Structure 1
């Protein structure tokens, strides 16, 4: 009988490339085409719209390859791919960049709202998707979930403020670097929580009972 491949066996560099590659390519392509206007079938499209049109199949392909290599996708990856397709498609179809700019707002509202709903039920739905990476006690998961829920909702508001008040170029920089840096900074500032609520290894834990 053939051995089933462990779905977690994927080189970190490959995984990172598939997750961040489409975003980097979007940014580079935007910088190259941002000042150009293209006439297609009698309609004029600026560079942002064309880059958005190319980004949709790119994110779908990267999501497909992640699934093929790992055997699974996170809920965030699935929702992101769906919203990119829907709102990116609307921007291209209607030749209106506002729909694509709303996409991060919807993503953060969906996940912030989902975490909030779980909290109202006395549960940490964050634990369901991250428990293997960060084993924490129940109190730690609840506290981290409350913080991440508030953080996601704040990012949704911030994205709305940026795209509605700033230029497209500023929004692209914000989306490419600002949002990623904010998420990284959030988890970096949770180090104390991870330490205080970590589950000790029963074989090596410092609190193991004396013989």
Structure 2
């Protein structure tokens, strides 16, 4: 029997898990590529003239971001032989809006991409709750196990948080300079998300399913 293309359901013993640190690196990597290529875009264009045909630095960074996102997804596939659902959705959005930005030479699409991704994730999580599905378990089940009420509460909080990030991105890119938005996208969003994640630990500890301790066998 062939393995499914999409990742298995949370709790499925056949689901292959990725080391949490590696999973975090795969998710963070494309964003760091976007940040540093935007900062060094002019130098790269001068060093490699073919890149100058792509457009200004943020558009060059968008092209690199698309490649890095595809590579991240490919590594996930190689490690688990399945595609993680939320990163897959994010990749589709990245390629759609990245392609529009490059084709139309309009960096507005690059600015709006985080808004669309966060709004989409938030909406999917909250709609899933309306149908009694805690879809967040697909993201975090390799890190910890919660009871049904814990997943419901955590999914609700993350759904609202993603919508908050979408609104915050709109406020920043529409009201501040491009470099301010760029630094916020990496060095602002990551600390905010980290603090939010830490703030959820009391809820996680209250609803975590404790694994029974292995009995020690004496010879």
Q: TM-score scaled by structure 1?
A: 0.81
Query: Of the candidates 151, 165, 169, which is equivalent to residue 159 of structure 1?
Result: 169
1:31 to 2:24 alignment: no
Q: 1:35 to 1:171 in 2, by over 3 A?
A: farther
The one of the two structures with greater contact order (alpha-carbon pairs below 8 A, sep at least 6) is: 2
Paired residues, what number? 198
* TM score, norm. by length of structure 2: 0.78
Decide whether aligned partners of structure 1 residues 66 and 109 sit closer, same or farther in structure 2, where only a CA change above 3 A counts: same
Q: Would the alpha carbon gap of residues 59 and 43 (structure 1) be closer, same or farther in structure 2, given more than 3 Å must change?
A: closer
Matched residue, 2:69: 59
Q: 2:109 aligns with which of 93, 99, 103?
A: 99
C-alpha contact (below 8 Å) 1:7/1:71 kept by paired residues: no
C-alpha distance in 2, partners of 1:173/1:132?
Answer: 30
| Higher mean C-alpha displacement, 134-143 vs 44-53 | 44-53
Deviation, structure 1 residue 66: 2.3
> In structure 1, how many angstroms separate the alpha carbons of the residues matched to 2:151 and 2:106?
40
8 Å CA contact 1:112, 1:148 repeated in 2: yes
Distance in 2 of aligned mates of 1:147 and 1:105: 18
Q: Which has the larger radius of gyration?
A: 1
- Give the match for residue 115 of structure 1: 125
Give the unaligned 5+ runs of structure 2.
1-13, 215-219
Q: Distance in 2 between matches of 1:194 and 1:11?
A: 19
Deviations 1:139-192 (A, max 9, x none): 111111111111111111111111111111111111112222222111101111
